[in-house]
C-alpha cells in the first residue's frame, strides 16, 4: 500500500447485525507552488545586516534562486537550507506541504529607499517570482556603537619579520529601558561574533571598561575586547587585514524568562571592519646579502654538535644544529650545508633540504655527513646568515669548529684470510725443469707419490660449504636491499600522499579541512605500515609511536594535532587556526619520515 494512507476502519451493519470493516483510502490533493519573500526588519540601517528569506512551498523539484545584485549593498547567502514537510488531513482529504527556505544577509551601505526586485525561481519546471519589496534605509550609528582597531608597535616592517599585533573590539555598553549590560554579559550571551578574525586567536580575550573618544569626537565609556598574535608578513606591500570582520547582535529590547534570565527579544545586527594600517611591508635589501642567505629574518645564534667524533673514512657523522633567536622560529629555513664549500670540500653532504623540529624557542636540524679522507681534523664552523631588521643589515652567526679523528677505512688483511681458510700461504715453489717443451709437468713416480698431501678437514669443509654460504649471503643481502628499498619507497609514497591531502585541506571550509588533516595523519601511518587507519585513531596512535621509540616531542606534537582536529570537527575553527594546524601537520609528518617505524 505504498503511497497511500489508511485513515480508519468504519463499522457497517448488515441484516444479520454483523460488523464488517471498510478500508477507506484518503486522496491526496495537488497544491499549487507558491513563493514568498520576507525580511526580518521594518527598516534597515546603513552598514547593518538584515535577513532576507525566500520561501518556496508545494513543489516536487526546485532550483536554487539567483539573488540579484543590489546597488550599494553587500549580499551573502547564509549557510544551510531549511526544509520541512507538513501533512494535513481535513474531512478525509490529505494535503502535503513541502517547504524550502533560503536566507540571505544584506548589508546596505547608503541611506535611502532600498528596492528588492522580483526574484525568479524555477519550480517544477516553470518559473515563478517573488513580489517587489521596498525597505527604508536609515543612517546608522554603527561606528559609534561598534568599531575595531588593529595596533602595531612598529612603523617599518620587513617581509619575514615577526611582529606583535593587537586586535581590539570597542563596544558601547547597551542600555535598554534603564538596564545596562556588562562586558561579561555580552560574552556570556554570545552577542559578539567573530565572523573572521584572520590571524588573531578567539580564546583568552581580555575585557575591560575604559573611557575613550568615540569616532564622532565625544568621550564615553566603552567595553574593550582585546587579543594579540605574532604575525609574519610573507610578502612586501601594504599591511592589510581587509578580511577581518566582527559582528554583534546589539540588543534593543530585553526580557526575562521564567527562570529570571535575561534574553534578547529585539536587536540590530552590527558589522565592523578595522581601518587600514598605514604600514608598508618592505622587501629585504639585496645590497650586502650573503650568498648563503636562506631567508631568516631576526637575530639568531647557532650551535652544532657531532656524534661520533672518532670515525673511519666514510662512516656516518650526525650533526645536530640548533638555531635560537627572536624571529619566526616555526618557519625558519635550514642552513645551506651543501652550499658551504668548507664543509662539502671535506665531507660528503646530502643535497636535500633539511626538515627542522621546533623545540621551545629553538629549531633543531639534523644531517648525516661522511668524511672523505683521513686528512680531515675538524668539522668547520657552520654559518647561518640572517637579516637583522633593527640594524637593517645582514649578519652571519657561526658555530664553533668541532675536532674529529678520522681513521683509514677498514681493509682486509691477507694473513687473516689465510687463517680463515685454514691453510697457511706458502712461498712460491721454484720453477720445475722443462720436459718435452712443457713446464711444470713432473713425471717421476716417487716425486708424484710424495707430493700428495693429506686432506685437511677444515679446508674440505670450507670448499664444500663456501658456495652454499656465498649463495645464502648473496640472497640475504639482495633481500635486505630489496626490502630496504621497498620500505623507503613506501615511506616516500606515504609522505607524498599525506602532503597531497594537506594541500587539498587548504582549499576546504575550516571544519572539513580539520577532518582532512586528521585523515592525512592517519593515512600516513596506514600507508607506511600497511595497517588500517583506525589502528592509529585517538590515543592508540600516540601509544604506537611511543612503542616505536619515537621521541616524546614528536609524540606530543602528534597528539596536539589530532586533538586540534577533533576539537575543530565539533566546536568549529577559524581560518587562521586551520592554517596553523595544517602547517603543524606538515612539520610532524616530515619529522616522522625520519624514523624507522
**Residue 441 confidence (pLDDT):** 57
Looking at the structure, tell me whether residues 175 and 276 fall in a common domain: yes
265 plus 151 within the same structural domain? yes
What's the CATH code of the domain at 314? 2.60.40.10
345-359, 373-387, 438-452, range with greatest mean pLDDT: 373-387
Instruction: Please compute, for residue 421, the number of CA atoms within 13 A of its CA located in the half-sphere on the CB side.
Output: 9
Q: What is the pLDDT of residues 79-112, one digit of tens each?
A: 888 888 877 788 877 777 889 999 999 999 999 9
- Nearest CA among 160, 154, 152 for reference residue 394: 160
Whether 450 shows a pLDDT value over 90: the answer reads no
Over range 322-345, report the average pLDDT: 89
CA 133 – CA 152 distance, rounded (Å)? 45
Domains contained in the chain, number: 4
Mapped onto helix, strand or coil, the DSSP state of residue 524 is helix
pLDDT at 324: 93
pLDDT band at 490 (very low <50, low <70, confident <90, very high): confident
% of the chain exceeding 90 in pLDDT: 32
Query: Do 118 and 43 share a structural domain?
Result: yes
Evaluate the omega torsion of the peptide bond into residue 263 and state whether it is cis, within 30 degrees of 0: no
Report H helices in 345-438. 414-421
Residue 25 is assigned to a structural domain of this protein: no
Give the N- to C-terminal CA distance of the chain in Å, as an integer: 60
Across the range 20-39, mean pLDDT stands at 63
390 near 299, Cβ under 8 Å? Answer: yes
Same domain, 273 and 182: yes
Q: Evaluate if residue 145 carries a pLDDT over 60.
A: yes
Q: Which of 11-20, 199-208, 288-297, 538-547 has the lowest mean pLDDT?
A: 11-20
Residue 271: inside a domain: yes
Beta strands at 362-371 and 316-325: parallel, antiparallel or unpaired: antiparallel
In a domain, 322, yes or no: yes
- Of the candidates 586, 543, 581, 534, the residue with the CA atom closest to the CA atom of residue 562: 581
Annotate 462-498 with DSSP letters as a single string. HHHHHHHHHHHHHHHHHHHHHHHHHHHHHHHHHHHHH
Shared domain for 126 and 153, answered yes or no, is no
What pLDDT band is residue 569 in, cutting at 50, 70 and 90? low
Confidence bin at 322 (pLDDT 50/70/90): very high
Cα atoms found within 13 Å of the Cα of residue 134, Cβ hemisphere only? 3
Q: How many CB atoms lie within 10 A of CB 148?
A: 18
Cα–Cα nearest to 251, from 356, 152, 145: 145
253 and 191 belong to one structural domain: yes
23 phi/psi in degrees, rounded to 5: -85, 120
Q: What is the DSSP string of 324-347?
A: EESS-STTPPPP-STT-HHHHTTE
On the question of pLDDT at 400 being above 90, the answer is yes
pLDDT at 70 over 60: yes
User: Is 272 exposed, middle or buried (CB count within 10 Å of its CB: 0-12, 13-18, 19+)?
Assistant: buried
**Residue 359 belongs to a domain:** yes
| Nearest Cα to Cα of residue 46 among 100, 101, 114, 94 | 114
Domain contains 84: yes
Q: Do 151 and 276 share a domain, yes or no?
A: yes
Say if 195 falls within a structural domain.
yes
Q: Give CA–CA dist 167/431, Å, rounded.
A: 99
Whether residue 196 is predicted with pLDDT greater than 50 in this model: the reply is yes
Spatial separation of the C-alpha atoms in residues 560 and 76, rounded to whole Å: 35
Distance CA(167)–CA(224), nearest Å, equals 10
Average pLDDT over residues 545-558: 88
For residue 298, give the nearest of 330, 337, 340, 338 by alpha carbon.
Answer: 330
For the chain, give the mean pLDDT: 81
Q: Give the end of a domain, one of 282, 313, 335.
A: 282
Residue labelled with grid coordinates 525580511: 39
d(CA 205, CA 520): 32
The residues, ordered by sequence, that sit 6+ positions from 84 with a Cβ below 8 Å of its Cβ are 98, 99
Task: State whether 352 and 377 are in the same domain.
Answer: yes
Of 84-93, 190-199, 359-368, the poorest mean pLDDT is in 84-93
Q: Are residues 95 and 81 in the same domain?
A: yes
Q: Is residue 291 part of a domain?
A: no
Q: Are residues 146 and 251 in the same domain?
A: yes
Instruction: Specify the pairing of strand 48-57 against strand 93-108.
Output: antiparallel
pLDDT average, residue stretch 325-337? 89
- Residue 183 clears pLDDT 60, i.e. is over it: yes
Residue 393 confidence class, pLDDT cut points 50, 70, 90: very high
Domain-ending residue, one of 349, 374, 407: 407
**With helix as H, strand as E and coil as C, how does 252-287 read?**
EEEEECCCCCEEEEEEEEEEECCCCCCCEEECCCCC
* Host domain of residue 378: 300-407
**Cα 226 from chain centre:** 26
Check whether residue 274 and residue 190 sit in a common domain.
yes
Which one of 282, 312, 329 terminates a domain? 282
Whether 525 maps to a domain, the answer reads yes
Percent share of the chain, pLDDT over 70:
82
Strands 405-407 and 310-312, by their bridges, are parallel
Residues 364 and 269 in one domain: no
**Statement: residue 335 has pLDDT above 50:** yes
Q: From CA 464, how far away is CA 471, in angstroms rounded?
A: 12
pLDDT band at 445 (very low <50, low <70, confident <90, very high): low
Amino acid at each position: 500500500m505504498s503511497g497511500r494512507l489508511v485513515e480508519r476502519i468504519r463499522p457497517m451493519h448488515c441484516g444479520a447485525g454483523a460488523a464488517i470493516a471498510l478500508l477507506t483510502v484518503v486522496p491526496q490533493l495537488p497544491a499549487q507552488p507558491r513563493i514568498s519573500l520576507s525580511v526580518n526588519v521594518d527598516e534597515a540601517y546603513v552598514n547593518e545586516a538584515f535577513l532576507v528569506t525566500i520561501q518556496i512551498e508545494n513543489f516536487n523539484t526546485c532550483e536554487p534562486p539567483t539573488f540579484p545584485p543590489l546597488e550599494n549593498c553587500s549580499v551573502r547567502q547564509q549557510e544551510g537550507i531549511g526544509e520541512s514537510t507538513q501533512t494535513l488531513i481535513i474531512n478525509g482529504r490529505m494535503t502535503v506541504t513541502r517547504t524550502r527556505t533560503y536566507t540571505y544577509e544584506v548589508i546596505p551601505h547608503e541611506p535611502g529607499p532600498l528596492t528588492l526586485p522580483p526574484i525568479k525561481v524555477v519550480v517544477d519546471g516553470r518559473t515563478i517570482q517573488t513580489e517587489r519589496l521596498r525597505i527604508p534605509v536609515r543612517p546608522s550609528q554603527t561606528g559609534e556603537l561598534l568599531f575595531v582597531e588593529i595596533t602595531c608597535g612598529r612603523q617599518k616592517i620587513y617581509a619575514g619579520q615577526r611582529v606583535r599585533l593587537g586586535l581590539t573590539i570597542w563596544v558601547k555598553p547597551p542600555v535598554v529601558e534603564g538596564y545596562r549590560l556588562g562586558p561579561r554579559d555580552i560574552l556570556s550571551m554570545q552577542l559578539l561574533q567573530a565572523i573572521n578574525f584572520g590571524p588573531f586567536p578567539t580564546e583568552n580575550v581580555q575585557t575591560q571598561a575604559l573611557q575613550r573618544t568615540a569616532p564622532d569626537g565625544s568621550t564615553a565609556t566603552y567595553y574593550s575586547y582585546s587579543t594579540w598574535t605574532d604575525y609574519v608578513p610573507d610578502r612586501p606591500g601594504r599591511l592589510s587585514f581587509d578580511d577581518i570582520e566582527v559582528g554583534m547582535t546589539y540588543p534593543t529590547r530585553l526580557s526575562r524568562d521564567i527562570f529570571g534570565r535575561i534574553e534578547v527579544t529585539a536587536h540590530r545586527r552590527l558589522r565592523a571592519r578595522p581601518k587600514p594600517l598605514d604600514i608598508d611591508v618592505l622587501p629585504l635589501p639585496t645590497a650586502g646579502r650573503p650568498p648563503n642567505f636562506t631567508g631568516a629574518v631576526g637575530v639568531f645564534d647557532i650551535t652544532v654538535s657531532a656524534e661520533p667524533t672518532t670515525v673511519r673514512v666514510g662512516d656516518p657523522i650526525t650533526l645536530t644544529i640548533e638555531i635560537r633567536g627572536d624571529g619566526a622560529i616555526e618557519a625558519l629555513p635550514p642552513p645551506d650545508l651543501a652550499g658551504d664549500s668548507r664543509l662539502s670540500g671535506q665531507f660528503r653532504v646530502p643535497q636535500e633540504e633539511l626538515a627542522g623540529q621546533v623545540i621551545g624557542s629553538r629549531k633543531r636540524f639534523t644531517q648525516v655527513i661522511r668524511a672523505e679522507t683521513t686528512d680531515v681534523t675538524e668539522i668547520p664552523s657552520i654559518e647561518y646568515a640572517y637579516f637583522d631588521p633593527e640594524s637593517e643589515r645582514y649578519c652571519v652567526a657561526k658555530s664553533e669548529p668541532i675536532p674529529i679523528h678520522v681513521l683509514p677505512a677498514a681493509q682486509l688483511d691477507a694473513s687473516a684470510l689465510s687463517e680463515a681458510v685454514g691453510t697457511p700461504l706458502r712461498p712460491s715453489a721454484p720453477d720445475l725443469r722443462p720436459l718435452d717443451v712443457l713446464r711444470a709437468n713432473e713425471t717421476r713416480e716417487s716425486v708424484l707419490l710424495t707430493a700428495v698431501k693429506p686432506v685437511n678437514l677444515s679446508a674440505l669443509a670450507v670448499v664444500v660449504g663456501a658456495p652454499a654460504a656465498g649463495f645464502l649471503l648473496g640472497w640475504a643481502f639482495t633481500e635486505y636491499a630489496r626490502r630496504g628499498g621497498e620500505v623507503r619507497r613506501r615511506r616516500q609514497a606515504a609522505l607524498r600522499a599525506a602532503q597531497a591531502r594537506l594541500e587539498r585541506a587548504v582549499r576546504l571550509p575550516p571544519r572539513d579541512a580539520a577532518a582532512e588533516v586528521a585523515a592525512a595523519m592517519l593515512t600516513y601511518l596506514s600507508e607506511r605500515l600497511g595497517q588500517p587507519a583506525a589502528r592509529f585513531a585517538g590515543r592508540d596512535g600516540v601509544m604506537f609511536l611511543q612503542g616505536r621509540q619515537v621521541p616524546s616531542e614528536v609524540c606530543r606534537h602528534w597528539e596536539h594535532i589530532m586533538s586540534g582536529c577533533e576539537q575543530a570537527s565539533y566546536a568549529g575553527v577559524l581560518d587562521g587556526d586551520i592554517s596553523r594546524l595544517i602547517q603543524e601537520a606538515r612539520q610532524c609528518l616530515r619529522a616522522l619520515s625520519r624514523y624507522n617505524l
